[in-house]
Amino acid sequence: MTLTVAYWSGFNPAGVNIMPAWINAAAKQLQKTYPNVNVVGDEITTSSESEYYSKVDLTERSARTVPDVVFEDSFLIGSDASAGFLRPLPQLTTWPGWNAYYPAMKSSASYNGKVYGAMNSTDVQLIYYSRKLFKQAGLPATWQPHSWGDVLAAARAINRHDNGAIPVWIYTGQAVGEASAFRGFEVFLNGTSDRLYDYTTHKWEISGPGFNATWNLLSQMQPLEEPESMWSNPNADATVALTLMPHQQVGIVFDGSWVATAYVPGGLAPWPGFSSAYGEAALPTQAGGAPGYTNQSGGWALSVPSLAPHPSLSQAFIEAASSASLLASFDPASGNLPPRADVLTQPAWQAAVKVNPVSKFASAQLPYTTFRPNLPTYVQVSNVIQQLTEQVSTRSMTPSQAAASYASQVTQIVGSGNVERMRK
Amino acid sequence: MSQVVDLGRELPKEGPSAAPIGRAKNVTVETPLRRRLTGLTMVAPMLVVVLVFMGWPAVWTFVLSFTNMTVTGPTATHYQFIGFANYKQLFSTGSGLLDSVGKSIYYLFVSGYLGQAVLGFLLAYFLSRSAYAVRATVGAIVIVAWLIPEIVTSYMWFVLLSDGGVMQQGYHLFGLNYQSWLVTNPMLAVSLANAWRGAAFSFLLFSAALDGIPTDLIDAAEVDGAGGWRRLTRLTIPLLSSAIVVDLVIITLATLNDFSLIYAMTGGGPGNASNVLSVFMYRQAFSNYELAYGTAIAVVLLVIGAILAALYIRLLRRQGSLAEMR
């Protein structure tokens, strides 16, 4: 018997064998109990993450194409569960490993009170700043901004000093998909008094001072940002991490905690001098308001499609793959933070932290983190944000036009009974 | 047709109570009905293939365009019929449809008609009058461009035009500043690539048609004193009219439906700057996960293509009847 595990090619960059190594290690564990089961990784190659989601969802529609286990972005769990594509896995909560998960990670993999998978990775957002460009611009060698104003001031100082360098990198536009909604908008909005979704009233917030401030910030950042030719490329993440940063051509970078993973020995682009070239800072709130910092986390889970023919075997594979010892190798290799606390004491994780010091700083940000609304309509709301960041960056819309467009488009998507306006 | 029935009448009759005409034993007699049935049986396998693989998806697309089916979310599997809501949304202001139709028409005219049909015709016309060596060399180069898979062509042009690409190196050589055409004028960039790739088709079609024009006709016109331009406009082009219409029909449909070249080169961007109808459809269906809304755009695309094709075919018929009258 053969189990297929579908995953995205983007998680398995050329020259680095992360996914097959992890799947094979899990298969070996599984075969201790089920010796006749063969596990095959099914790498789904697409240029963008959103195309991977579409492809996986399409395979889940038919019993003839459905994989046994699917590598699922946690923000899609609600959407795919409500579509009926994923199987609830109530037995997973009785698995001994389940208790080791951070509570937020348990709810990340749940929808409507049911568990739909086990998380295998999470992350946080960081600011990377170039020590060289900061020194040239007369900025401090060790830097921690305490407000958006501090970030703008530093970016402007870099711009005044060096016209060749890109002062600030912020993901924007539709080409990079979810990255512009997540890292180019939501992490800033979370630093204001507004949120995408109000969990107390169960309504989407569609407008408010925080929304206006965030669109304004993006508009102010626009002249300091990377040029359109860079952000409109689906491989923008490679441009910043593999070209701009190694050449110290970008001053301030808003990106994920996984970026530095490429630079460790044996990584995609080993760079021993990374730590002396770039420092890390936490994301400040709008004006330094409590708790001072903000963040947002994503992460991936392993789930079982509804039409998968051997669900209990699929679940056994998930349990094997999500053990503390396997995640202790998989998470640092894939540039992620562990979703369960017991990974931190594993020798493999501790060895990895020594090689990649960013992961220590990153895990200290976990207390400030938040999650995207795990709701079916989030995917469409995210698309609205992606389009609007592009409109603001190309100056096709003013911040107030973007704010108005957001309110009307989101109302249309979720229905006027499910929205609220914040007036504070 | 009457001959076939007559044949039946000449058959020898069996016994006094002869079988009615056309029912003679052991002999197949072709009545009009039988003839029609035979024809139908012959085309049936092909008809089934066309209906199953081409007709059904078109019908299903049309049906889905009246639903709220999505790629993910509750309506992915439990979708409902919502009447004309998708079309209402599509034809309301701000949907982006008009913008995409405009871009598709630009792409059709610049890359299809100008870049492929006109360029292909000029290549065929001038090469037909040049030495064999020139003809063979240029012809081979043009056809090679056509043989290269579309996705490879896209990457070639991407590398040529993108930041840090060949074009930029060339500009720098002359001390000029280059801003990627993929950003500054993406529609022109994709149109150039499509023209480069597709001119070969028109070239081949017109080369064959030009070969079919009797040389004595041209010679006679020349003897009568018709100059080169007059011979081209009064003789060659009218004689090629059916080839021209066929070329236009095929190019129109291929260019309107073209997706991969544009998607690979610009992704429809930056922004919506190269968001032709086919890319608009894909983005709505598979990036925004609005599958049914995407199918409504597909139906609009189908209708535009069908109207244009019908116009050209009408033109072709008219040409045919004019020729008969002469």
Q: Does B72 touch chain A (CB under 8 A)?
A: yes
Helical spans, DSSP H, in B26-109: 32-50, 56-64, 85-90, 97-107
| Mutant choice from B168, B265, B289 vs A, greatest count of A C-beta within 10 A | B289
Report which of A87, A137, A93, A155 is spatially closest to residue A116, judged by C-alpha positions. A87
Taking an 8 Å cut-off on Cβ atoms, the answer to whether A79 and B72 are in contact is: yes
Average pLDDT estimate for B146-153: 92
User: Residue B298: pLDDT above 80?
Assistant: yes
Minimum CA–CA partner of B77 in chain A: A83
Q: Which of B70, B77, B270 sits opposite A84 (nearest CB)?
A: B77
Torsion sign (Cα): A208, A210, A212, A215 = negative
Residue A80 sits at the chain B interface (C-beta within 8 Å): yes
* pLDDT tens-digit readout, B86-123: 999 999 887 889 999 999 999 999 999 999 999 999 99
pLDDT interval class at A363 (50, 70, 90): confident
Average pLDDT over residues A333-339: 88
Token couple for A418: 């499910």
Whether omega before A291 lies within 30 degrees of 0, making that bond cis, reads yes
Q: Are A176 and A322 in contact, with CB atoms under 8 Å apart? A: no
Measured at the CA of B238, the angle between CA B233 and CA B244, to 5 degrees, comes to 105
Contact status, residue A35 vs residue A71, Cβ threshold 8 Å: no
Provide the chain A residues 214-273 that lie in CB contact (below 8 A) with chain B.
228-230, 232, 234
Q: Which two tokens stand for residue B310?
A: 């019908």
Q: Single out the residue of A13, A390, A232, A240 nearest to residue B96, CA to CA.
A: A390
Q: Quick check: B178 contacting A, CB < 8 Å?
A: no
The answer to whether the beta carbons of residues A290 and A174 sit under 8 Å apart is: no
Average pLDDT for chain A: 91
**Contact assignment for B76 to A57 by CB distance below 8 Å:** yes
Q: Residue B148: CB partners within 8 Å, gap ≥ 6?
A: B156, B197
Q: How confident is the model at residue A316 (pLDDT cuts 50, 70, 90)?
A: very high
| Other CB atoms within 10 A of residue B231 CB | 16
Q: Between A48, A57, A228, which is nearest B270 by CB?
A: A228
Burial level of A398, CB count in 10 A (0-12/13-18/19+)?
Answer: middle
Closest of A412, A205, A231 to residue B95, by C-alpha: A412
Residue A10 DSSP class: G
Does the pLDDT of residue B2 top 70, yes or no? Answer: no
Q: Which two tokens stand for residue A215?
A: 């669109």
Is the model's pLDDT at A221 over the cut of 70?
Answer: yes
pLDDT at A227 over 80: yes
Q: From residue B6, give the alpha-carbon distance in Å to each of A45, B2, B25, B30, B190.
A: 67, 6, 17, 10, 63
Chain-chain contact of A83 with B76 (C-beta, under 8 angstroms): yes
Please write the tens of the pLDDT for every residue from A195-211.
999 888 889 999 999 99
Q: Which residues of A touch B78 (CB under 8 A)?
A: 84
Backbone angles phi, psi at B129, to 5 degrees: -105, 5
Q: Is the pLDDT of residue B212 over 70?
A: yes
Reported as type and span, the H/E element at residue A130 is strand A125-130
A339 contacts A74 by C-beta, under 8 angstroms:
no
For chain A, the farthest-separated pair of C-alpha atoms sits apart, in whole angstroms, at: 66
pLDDT confidence of residue B93? 81
Using CA atoms, how far residue A11 sits from A52, A121, A242, A358, in Å, is 11, 12, 16, 19
Average pLDDT of span B250-276? 90
B270/A394 CB distance under 8 A? yes
Measuring CA to CA, which residue among A179, A186, A181 is closest to residue A233? A179
- Amino acid sitting at position B57: P
Candidates A52, A174, A383: best to mutate against B (most CBs of B within 10 A) is: A174
pLDDT score of B11: 46
DSSP-assigned states of every residue in A196-233: SEETTTTEEEEESHHHHHHHHHHHHHGGGBPPHHHHTS
The percent helix, strand, coil of chain B (3-state, each to 5) is 75, 0, 25
Please tell me the predicted confidence (pLDDT) of residue B319: 67
pLDDT of A160 above 60:
yes
DSSP B67-81: B---SSSGGGTS--B
ipTM value of the model?
A: 0.76
In terms of Cβ atoms closer than 10 Å to its own Cβ (0-12, 13-18, 19+), residue A161 is middle
Secondary structure of A48-107 in the HEC alphabet? CHHHHHHHHHHHCCCCCCCCCEEEEEHHHHHHHHHCCCECCCHHHHHCHHHHHECHHHHH
Give the per-residue pLDDT at B29. Answer: 65
Q: Tell me which residue in A48, A54, A377 faces B71 most closely, judged by beta carbons.
A: A54
Residue A249 and residue A163 in contact, taking contact as beta carbons nearer than 8 Å:
no
Q: DSSP per residue over A354-386, as a string?
A: HH-THHHHHHTTGGG--B---STTHHHHHHHHH
Minimal Cα distance from A81: which residue of B? Answer: B73
Find chain A residues with C-beta within 8 A of B177's C-beta.
Answer: none
**Calpha distance B147→B119 (Å, rounded):** 18
Q: Cβ neighbours of residue B151 under 8 Å, at least 6 residues apart?
A: B260, B264
Q: Do B72 and A380 touch (CB under 8 A)?
A: no
pLDDT, tens digit (0-9, with 9 covering 90-100), for A29-69: 999 999 999 999 999 998 778 889 999 999 999 999 999 99
Find the farthest-apart pair of alpha carbons in chain B and give their distance in angstroms, rounded: 104
pLDDT above 60 (res B325): no
Specify the pLDDT at position B289. Answer: 87
pLDDT tier, B9 (very low <50, low <70, confident <90, very high otherwise): very low
User: pTM for this one?
Assistant: 0.80
| Residue A237 backbone phi and psi in degrees, to 5 | -65, -35
Q: What is the pLDDT of residues A108-125, one digit of tens each?
A: 899 988 999 999 999 999
Helix (H) or strand (E) holding B300: helix B291-325
| Residues A248 and A254 sit within 8 Å (Cβ to Cβ) | no
CA dist., res. A251 & res. A269, Å (int): 20
Nearest to A83 among B77, B270, B286 (CB): B77
- One DSSP character per residue, A325-345 reads HHHHHHHHHTT-B-SBGGGGG
Instruction: Check residue B10 and give its pLDDT.
Output: 45
**Single-letter code of the amino acid located at B69:** M
CB-hemisphere CA count at 13 Å for A101? Answer: 26
On the question of pLDDT at B14 being above 60, the answer is: no
Give B30-68 pLDDT, tens digit per residue: 678 888 888 889 999 999 999 999 899 999 999 999 999
Count Cβ neighbours within 10 Å for each residue of A403-416 and write b for 16 or more, e otherwise.
bebbbebbbebbee
